Amino acid sequence: MTCSAPRIDHGFLSNGYGAALISRDASVEWLSVPRFDSPPIFCSLLDEDLDCALRIRAADAAPAGRHYIRGSLALETVLRADGGTVKVRDVMPRSEPALMRLIESEVPVELTANPMFGHGLVNPAYEQKDDGALFADPTSDQSLEIRIRWSSPPAAAGRGRWRLEPGSGHMMVLYSAERGYGLFSPKAAVYATPDEALGSTLNYWRSELGMNTIAPPGWARRAYTTSLEVLLGLKYAPSGALVSSPTTSLPESVGEGRNWDYRFAWVRDSSVAAEALAAAGLIIDAREVLNFLFSVLDPSSKPFNYVLFSVDGSPPPPERELGWLSGFACSRPVRSGNAAALQLQLDIEGEFMAALNSYYRATGDVEYLRGRWWAVESIARYVMRNRSRPDAGIWEERGIERHHTHSKVMMWYALHAASEMARDVGELDEAGKWSAAAASLREWILENAWSDADGSFVSYRGSHDVDASLLVMPIYGFVEADDRMFASTLQRIEEELVADGLVYRYRRDFLGSARHPFALAGAWMARAKLRLGDRRGAESYLRKLASCANDLGLLGEHIDAGTCEARGNYPHVFSHAGLIHAIAELVAT
């Protein structure tokens, strides 16, 4: 078993349905099609020995640079060899379960493809074609087809291997749910050519990003623009669901078991992303995310009876361990599904209300609000009935329920925002009732989440610790940033959870020590600083975050404390949404 320590700094591609991750040497090491939560057909990130990847190799070639093409999620990678360069442009055409590779090479190259099905469990049957190959799943009708068009005929060199002379052309990789519909069928005529796909993809991204209303400072421009692309790229186009990450089981700490599946739409993460999209002026996209959340909201019970949903809105699958995979850098276990779905998390209705309120304040769309008033009522009723319950909270500790301060603050916010909205739509009786309940909950928090012994707010009732989620207290208006109680809490957080400009979410949890800082916490810190009028301090935290993004502007959920490299699932919606929102507020001050 190979246990090297590869970097996670891949390029991220998306077509609004599935995703690809491409390494610096132009290897496709992750491809999930037809959906984000489909078993990846290229999956070498989760087991290096499988070499389940799509690679392009040239003698003595080394990475020489890469960039996203004209503000899009189409990626250009350049390799340099002794005899010349290889240029690869990768694009996932919208709405097609495909990856297209446009290649120009001054030297001979070898293409290799080793797809697998069932999360690396099923080896495909192989059928050589005149200009490519078909890889068929023996357990179903699905297949992966590869077609190569080159300036001279490609030379087959074995199973999934082709040699190409210097020249230019393309490789098309297409997933088919049924083998009769693909590149080697009459239906092949409907698929775009790679040049067409690239051009239309660039036009799509130009149109999407053209709605952005924020002009970030120069040091933040790359990270900000890429962050918008990431949020849009993680949105499942048919439903508006926004997955937290396109990957599963990339470890928070290499060699440990903090490995989770994030290929689902978390209510919390989606709400934070919708807020960020609204702040950036991408109102239509924010509304699409909200509409998905409305579609899974149950007014007859807990409004969000799961904390995460599959991209089509159905309940998430159960968590299971994929024991045949060695994991990224031998970080076991590899998981499919996420048992956090079973937890009671009471903050998520508040995060949803924050997203709805942000959209409403940005648009003044009172008709949208009236049309979904049933949801506001159901959330307010539920919070009023359940505000005294403990929960698992934002950090999702397994098997533990407490009276988490962050959860109580977000429940307070749900009632507070519902009361304000009720006044706007003329529901004055409900406005008064919800306002009184919010005031009562606020008093409970001030009494129970404050520790006289520690001189600060604490993570949960009875705790002596602080955690980064306390930073949202002034962000959501629970206290003013210069309130003495929050000021002393902020001081503790900076003393205990900040190292080299990066912010840990906490120091310990049910699995032990937290090894690496949490990217979203740095954005929270910057936003708290801005509310104190400390623009220099806010910019310092944001500059640090931006500097830890890779050369494409991408961030994981965590940041390696020693190397600034991405850790955890990658790229992550929390990290990029937090950066967008904080930079938007920085520009506005």
| Selection from 218, 216, 243 nearest residue 232 by Cα | 243
Report which residue type is found at 63. P
Question: What DSSP string runs through 100-157?
Answer: EEEEEESS-EEEEE---BTTTTBPPEEEEETTEEEEE-TTSS-EEEEEEEESS--EE-
pLDDT of residue 185: 82
End-to-end Cα, the chain, rounded Å? 53
pLDDT of residue 515: 84
pLDDT of residue 187: 77
pLDDT digits over 66-87, tens only? 999 998 999 999 999 999 999 9
Backbone angles phi, psi at 430, to 5 degrees: -65, -35
Helix, strand or coil, per DSSP, at residue 316: coil
Q: Residue 514: pLDDT band by 50, 70, 90 thresholds?
A: confident
> Higher pLDDT residue, 25 or 514?
25
CB 44 within 8 Å of CB 50: yes
| Selection from 513, 501, 512 nearest residue 559 by Cα | 501
Q: What is the value of pTM for the model shown?
A: 0.96
Ramachandran area for residue 562 (φ above 0: left; ψ -120 to 50: alpha; else beta): alpha
* Mean pLDDT score, 271-288: 98
pLDDT digits over 145-173, tens only? 999 999 999 999 999 999 999 999 999 99
Q: Residue 293: pLDDT band by 50, 70, 90 thresholds?
A: very high
Backbone angles phi, psi at 101, to 5 degrees: -120, 115
CB 282 within 8 Å of CB 228: yes
Q: What is the dihedral of CA 296, 300, 305, 311, to 10 degrees?
A: -10
Q: Residue 404: pLDDT band by 50, 70, 90 thresholds?
A: very high
Residue 439 in this model has a pLDDT that exceeds 90: yes
d(CA 272, CA 352): 8
Q: Residue 568: pLDDT band by 50, 70, 90 thresholds?
A: very high
Ramachandran area for residue 371 (φ above 0: left; ψ -120 to 50: alpha; else beta): alpha
CB 505 within 8 Å of CB 572: no
pLDDT of residue 297: 98
> Higher pLDDT residue, 192 or 47?
47
pLDDT of residue 183: 86
**Chain Cα centroid distance, residue 501:** 23
pLDDT digits over 166-193, tens only? 999 999 999 999 877 888 887 777 888 8
Residue 94 in this model has a pLDDT that exceeds 80: yes
pLDDT of residue 137: 96
Residue 364 in this model has a pLDDT that exceeds 90: yes
pLDDT digits over 481-494, tens only? 999 999 999 999 99
Residue 511 in this model has a pLDDT that exceeds 80: no
- Which tokens sit at 580? 């967008």
CB 81 within 8 Å of CB 97: no
pLDDT of residue 180: 73
Residue 414 in this model has a pLDDT that exceeds 90: yes
| Selection from 551, 385, 395, 410 nearest residue 466 by Cα | 395
Q: Residue 257: pLDDT band by 50, 70, 90 thresholds?
A: confident
Could you tell me where the beta strands, DSSP code E, fall in 405-540? 450-451, 456-457, 498-499, 502-503, 508-509, 512-513
* Mean pLDDT score, 128-135: 93
Backbone angles phi, psi at 175, to 5 degrees: -90, 140
d(CA 18, CA 168): 27
| Selection from 553, 582, 548 nearest residue 566 by Cα | 548
Residues 6+ apart with CB under 8 A from 536: none
Average pLDDT, the chain: 95
* Mean pLDDT score, 18-38: 98
Residue 456 in this model has a pLDDT that exceeds 90: yes
Helix, strand or coil, per DSSP, at residue 568: coil
pLDDT of residue 194: 87
Return the minimum-mean-pLDDT range out of 283-287, 521-525, 558-562: 558-562
Q: Which helix (H) or strand (E) holds 524?
A: helix 519-531
Please work out, in degrees rounded to the nearest 5, the angle formed at the alpha carbon of residue 568 by the alpha carbons of 566 and 572: 80
Residues 6+ apart with CB under 8 A from 548: 502, 519, 555, 559, 564, 565
pLDDT digits over 440-454, tens only? 999 999 999 999 999
d(CA 243, CA 22): 19
CB 429 within 8 Å of CB 420: no
CB 147 within 8 Å of CB 129: yes
DSSP 460: B
| Selection from 557, 523, 16 nearest residue 261 by Cα | 557
- Which tokens sit at 20? 């690809």
Return the minimum-mean-pLDDT range out of 168-172, 302-306, 507-511: 507-511
Ramachandran area for residue 248 (φ above 0: left; ψ -120 to 50: alpha; else beta): beta
pLDDT of residue 130: 86
Q: Which helix (H) or strand (E) holds 226?
A: helix 221-233
Residue 398 in this model has a pLDDT that exceeds 80: yes
Burial class, 189, CB count within 10 angstroms (exposed 0-12 / middle 13-18 / buried 19+): exposed
Task: Look up tokens 């500059």; give the residue.
Answer: 543
Residue 241 in this model has a pLDDT that exceeds 90: yes
Residues 6+ apart with CB under 8 A from 107: 58, 59, 61, 81, 82, 83, 84, 85, 86, 166
Residues forming a β-bridge with 81: 84
pLDDT of residue 127: 95
Ramachandran area for residue 14 (φ above 0: left; ψ -120 to 50: alpha; else beta): beta
CB 377 within 8 Å of CB 430: yes
CB 582 within 8 Å of CB 565: no
Residues forming a β-bridge with 19: 14, 32
Q: What is the dihedral of CA 466, 471, 472, 478, to 10 degrees?
A: 80
Backbone angles phi, psi at 230, to 5 degrees: -65, -45
CA distances from 242 to 37, 231, 270, 309, 455 (A): 12, 8, 6, 10, 39
